[in-house]
Structure 1
Amino acid sequence: MSEKSFSRREIIAVVTFFVLAVALGFGAYRTGIRMAGTGSGAVVAATPASATPDGQALFVGNCAGCHGAQAEGGVGPALGEAAAWSAPEFAQAVLNGVGPGGRALAPVMPHFAQTGLDGAPATDAQVEAIRTFIQGVQ
């Protein structure tokens, strides 16, 4: 039975890979903090109940991952057509994953009536704020 040990070159390759992976992970983490603008993690602040929801923040937090930062599309479709939907049609799509005419949207589309927005049940004002944001970027 012969024993095979790793060569110096193989060990250096593994260590280099590990160091690069850690550097990439740390860099991505730091970039996320800078992009969030907080500098040290999430900042939680109380918002008055009467405050108008921030459509852009809601879109970025719930929709941009699939539909792109400016609703230009990505994993999910561009939302130019959705910007023209009526408020009830848009709400039905966001809350229940059903487009105009009863057309079911992609199965990966979250049903925000169940999942909520911003960690709380979705409100009509939040849905309208997202719709207004999308209309503004189209």
Structure 2
Amino acid sequence: MMGRVNIQILDILKNKKVKATFFAIEPNIRTYKTSMIRVNKEGHYIGLHSVSHSAKKLYKGSYSNVAKEMETMRKTLKSVAGVNHYLVRVPYGSQPYMVKPFRDWLVKYQSKMWDWTIDSNDWRYKTSQYNTIINNVKSAVLAKKAHYYFDA
């Protein structure tokens, strides 16, 4: 989450006086402690995105897996940045994995789920491939608009 490029993004956000939400995975909170502290200090929100980011670990086996990973993340975030956040964005979005028993477990852990329907596939590309990522989002948004237009 917080490599060199994202430090530049934080500088831009600060200069423009804009706040953002960053969803992080637990290992990056540990690796980029200084950045996480800066994100929090500058008034941005750090959301929980999982420990493993693994569909197999999260969605196979116990329905409590997702909630337990988010709880581990929450505790790490609290110890590193001093914040106690409960907003989660589950890996791969809510479809098809986040069936009701997974959501019920998130509720037991007081988590609030932020969902999304457009996948940029940013994880597939090197950080220098911004145009590809942007084009993926634009194409998906246009496809959604067409879907809503024709189904209306």
Q: TM-score, normalised by structure 2?
A: 0.28
- Greater length-normalized contact order (CA 8 Å, ≥ 6 residues apart): 1
Q: Which has the higher strand share?
A: 2
Highest CA radius of gyration, 1 or 2? 1
